[in-house]
Chain A
């Protein structure tokens, strides 16, 4: 169940099917990001795809010597564009692939537009989501909920994304959802509906244990996204922002021109692939090794350039050298910037208090620490607001809740209205009233003893004490302990044999956008 590989396979298949010759890839906005997440330009160039065009671009020239591979979402606009395209074909032959189910009537209108018989293939390839990592995908949707109910267009897009995911992985799952969340239920129903409607498509080889699709609502755990993370990928995402594997470094002081935007993709960056889940300290030492390795290489290359043969060898090895130097400079820049931000924003201290807020139940110490940090001028308004949000979420109903005081502190610190509003918003979004489960107080004896022991032993790493609620949910799921009451099955086909449920949950979270996990 590797989503990156699944999409990559689809794209490779498209390109293969079109045979040899120069090709142009005709996409829409969304499929462009879908493809760009799994293929690099040089990789796809080697498959003779030389041009990448948007179907809605007007500035396309007629090039009859090119074959066109169209990978499009089956939207009304796209079908309309395609009809226009087929009426006056710009390329010699068209291979059309829709990323999701397309209606029969659309096929018919396309067929009628193809008077010159330029279409050689028309298929559905279900690569309708953005594969971020092998086990993470996203639909890059923003604001899919208004209040606590779905925006209808976004709901259908999410359902489409999920069904495409299931089809691309060839799974026909049982569906469970979070009872406390209405959007989760709606989504589950939508997915089920599609599966029922397209039962022919979902007719896969039955496995002994049916796969499971678990739909959760992000609002169930509003804490995790508020914390600062200390692993490489998470830090980059948190502090610099990753958008379709691209990182914008233009705000970094003194950045060189070619490093303004870098691509971090585990698919073709070995260092990144090996280090993306390691914590910051480990990355530090790894990047040092990388540098040393690189430097050992460098002087050798330069020293030896005495004879012609050496020169030749250097030139022959140069591309590799250059590639390595690219990797080195990229990661050194990124890690350097991360560490600069961490110290500038006093993130270690902030993170310690955040973790305390998330994991411990000592109100007075937490309150003190938050106040202390709010006085610290190094703490940014964003981080300050986040601390207060965490406090608000945790001690929402605490008897000696002093949120108003903290809000005053925020105001005194000069935190803008925009951020201060977020505090009440986040309580509304993920407060106790909304949550289906209790995030903070341990529920049973086992958990209490565990926490007690943890307190005795001390924490291994103050900055990574917090374990996302998702971890527990999935753990319960694997052990078959996930309560039917909280996460009911959809439909009458309740499978009671919970011991053998395979882990296969897709979590469609709704903030900030849809993020799926496998």
Chain B
């Protein structure tokens, strides 16, 4: 962990990773240390107290935890919290002062605009009036019109001031006489002397009038006057005549006007010029910014790749990374070249540009240099091909070693579980056939509702609209938290709590109803079963596995009687023959009230398809079995790869989860070992069917979660190289089927994500997700083909 204080602008949510103890957040360097630490320090701690404490610390995270039991997630959050707090004791550090909002401010813009509008209206009207008149004065063919007629037209445009009213030139004060004659401004009608008279050439006039029309067509800039020109005009100012007039009075190619009008017109012309003119520096600068943006996009991507490759991982292709490197470097070169060009702009011209312009150019160049320096710094080099192979080899060895150790640990657990299994069986046989009281059922049911019997995929949860809603809200809470909108979080949590209550209630009701129905059905089926039992009995004797499976799919209550006699043997056999299916087994025989899916399956099956195809059972078990073994191994992969394993995970909002993956995965691993022991104890002491709800739930979910995570990590990256399922060569056959299973699950997940993303309007995410979905589906199709072959 960095020892720096987080900078003020940083997002406070940080992710802590490594082998952290879930309870005391101690970093224990390795998985094995953590395991022993956990066993030594925390095995006796009361879980509920711990839970409550944690809730106190992070009320905000409570709802989510309750809902999804995403222990791993939870832990990272606690980590962030802890980290944050650990800095706060300094007291001196100002960054730890309460978050500071932007100071007060007050805008005068509306006031300003009001005053300006009054002034501008006046100004704009003046300008427009002049331009309209100018237009009128130039809209006819001046060269071919007689001067008298011109004068008539000119007089009609603007009334001329009476000669007698103006004895002196208003500008220079000279007296008018026969020599110093009066001249009229054609634009405003005022009088001045010849000296003070200005002329507007026709090209200028046409420029002004046509520009105004453009402005009318598209007035976007604040400079463009909104109420430009009202009258429609024919902009056809035909060719400027070259015929010069002999007559003194006749102006062929110019219009007389006073100084004031000319000033206004010139100002207007300047504005038009500026609007149209883009200096070179702007063009270059725009290009430069584009390049910088590109770097900002590409560089992080490349750095991820390089880190992964340097760690010897196979997530990315070395060549691809190299290409990207070259690309990024090219952009850097471009930035360099562009900024150099900006620096030297106009240096060779005469006259030399204004010193400020040069300064501007220097500063742009300087900032570009800074940019390149800073970014290039993080651009690590890639391993060479040989070196990369070496790295890969090293990594593989490392992984194998870990895998081996993990195996041993697994075996250990298995042995424990087997022992437990014996207890379970004896206990379950001891349990009477009668019903457990209703309330108890409710709780059991609820806790088991979360148990993913590995074949119970996510969609089942999602299928329930309530759960779906809860799911959504949870993700909303997460987002709101990330965005630091605390009040929203609070609101959402309230919402969530209500939903959960609702759901609990619903589940309880369902449970009650179901158990009632079961009781009835039980009666009905008892006779039927009696007949069937004998047949089955034979089959079971032959195939232990199928027996087990049927136990699952049939009503257990009936089967238990058989187990009375043979269950022990059978189950032990199964436990041995099946690698790890103990979770499954434990849940099945012991559940007086089977998990919801079992119930749901059970009902139709009992009614209609009673004689099940014997093959279905074993296959099912095999699947789950493999699934679990599979699960165990990839955890290791995940555990030591850290976030690099799936860096390009496009689910932006999942990124924090991804980073914390090792912890999560690790945790579920650990759960494999420890909670089961607790279960054992629980069950032994309770002697009832109620599982200690927490560990079991946690186990189930972290289990499933890690499956999900794994999926979200790998399929995205292309199944080609790094899929841990494929890396492990010694994996059991039937991979394809499992792959399919996981893929299906993943597809469902992605669908849910898409839904969620659509909901919150992140369309870009939706796109990416859809892409992923397609890819997954394609992979699935391939898998199917393969399995058919």
Contacts and interface: CB of A to CB of B under 8 A. Distances in A.
29 contacts: A2-B95, A9-B103, A22-B285, A42-B367, A42-B370, A50-B360, A50-B367, A51-B356, A53-B356, A60-B356, A63-B356, A64-B274, A65-B282, A102-B108, A104-B111, A107-B115, A110-B112, A111-B112, A111-B113, A112-B116, A114-B116, A114-B119, A116-B223, A117-B116, A119-B112, A124-B107, A168-B104, A170-B104, A316-B379
Given A2-B94, A108-B115, A134-B94, A46 B281 contact: no
Interface string A1-27: 110111001100100000010100000
A239 interface: no
A73 to B, nearest CB: 15
Given A2-B94, A50-B363, A114-B120, 16 more contacts: A1-B97, A9-B100, A22-B285, A46-B370, A50-B364, A61-B354, A107-B108, A111-B119, A114-B112, A118-B222, A118-B223, A122-B108, A167-B103, A201-B104, A201-B106, A313-B381
Interface string B731-747: 00000000000000000
A114 B114 CA distance: 12
Contact of A122 (B107, B223, B363): B107
B104 A167 contact: yes
Interface string A46-65: 10101101000001110111
Given A112-B115, A316-B379, A9 B102 contact: yes
Given A42-B370, A51-B359, A51-B360, A123 B116 contact: no
A118 B95 CA distance: 39
B355 A2 contact: no
Nearest to A3: B94
A2 B97 contact: yes
B103 A115 contact: no
Contacts of A134: 94, 97
A125 interface: yes
A6 B100 CA distance: 8
Nearest to B356: A61
B271 interface: yes
A378 to B, nearest CB: 36
B581 to A, nearest CB: 52
Contacts of B377: 316-317, 319-320
Contacts of A489: none
Interface residues of B, number: 55
A135 B94 contact: yes
A309 interface: yes
Contacts of A255: none
Nearest to B271: A116
A126 interface: yes
Interface of B: 4, 8, 92, 94-95, 97, 100-109, 111-116, 119-120, 123, 222-223, 271, 274, 277-279, 281-282, 285, 289, 354-357, 359-360, 363-364, 366-367, 370-371, 373-374, 376-377, 379-381
B35 to A, nearest CB: 37
Given A117-B223, A118-B222, A111 B103 contact: no
A439 B395 CA distance: 70
A259 interface: no
A65 B281 contact: yes
A123 B108 contact: yes
B100 A2 contact: yes
Of the listed residues B95, B111, B116, B123, the one surrounded by the most CB atoms of chain A closer than 10 A to its CB is B116
A471 to B, nearest CB: 15
A169 interface: yes
Contact of A124 (B4, B8, B106, B278): B106
A499 interface: no
B353 to A, nearest CB: 8
A61 B357 contact: yes
Contacts of B374: 319
B124 to A, nearest CB: 9
Given A65-B282, A317-B377, A117 B109 contact: no
A120 interface: yes
A121 interface: yes
Interface of A: 1-2, 4-6, 9-10, 13, 20, 22, 42, 45-46, 48, 50-51, 53, 59-61, 63-66, 92-93, 101-102, 104, 107-108, 110-112, 114-127, 133-135, 167-170, 201, 204, 270, 277, 309, 312-313, 316-317, 319-320
A125 B363 CA distance: 27
B109 A319 contact: no
Contacts of B278: 65
Contacts of A204: 104
Nearest to B94: A134
A127 B356 CA distance: 27
Contacts of A120: 222
Contacts of A10: 102-103, 105
B102 A13 contact: yes
B277 to A, nearest CB: 8
Contacts of A65: 278-279, 281-282
A333 to B, nearest CB: 24
A330 to B, nearest CB: 19
Nearest to A114: B116
Given A2-B94, A9-B103, A61-B356, A122 B367 contact: no
B105 A124 contact: yes
A114 B121 CA distance: 12
Given A1-B97, A45-B363, A168-B103, A122 B112 contact: yes
A112 B122 CA distance: 11
A41 to B, nearest CB: 9
Contacts of B354: 61
B40 to A, nearest CB: 37
B356 to A, nearest CB: 4
B106 A123 contact: yes
Nearest to B117: A111
Contacts of A108: 111, 115
B8 A312 contact: no
A277 B100 contact: no
Nearest to B95: A2
B484 to A, nearest CB: 16
| 9 A-B pairs with the lowest CB-CB distances in the bound complex, closest first | A111-B115, A134-B94, A168-B103, A45-B367, A61-B354, A50-B363, A111-B116, A167-B104, A61-B356
A2 B94 CA distance: 6
Given A111-B115, A115-B123, A309 B381 contact: yes
B321 to A, nearest CB: 16
A170 B381 contact: no
A61 B278 CA distance: 16
Contacts of B94: 2, 4-5, 133-135
Contacts of A42: 367, 370
B357 A126 contact: no
A50 B366 CA distance: 9
B108 A124 contact: yes
B63 to A, nearest CB: 28
Contacts of B381: 309, 312-313, 316
B174 to A, nearest CB: 30
A257 B111 CA distance: 52
B128 to A, nearest CB: 14
B367 A5 contact: no
A201 B107 CA distance: 11
A75 to B, nearest CB: 16
Nearest to A134: B94
A102 B374 CA distance: 41
Contacts of B363: 45, 50-51
Contacts of B359: 51
B107 A123 contact: yes
Contact of A20 (B106, B222, B289, B376): B289
A22 B103 contact: no
A49 to B, nearest CB: 9
Nearest to B116: A111
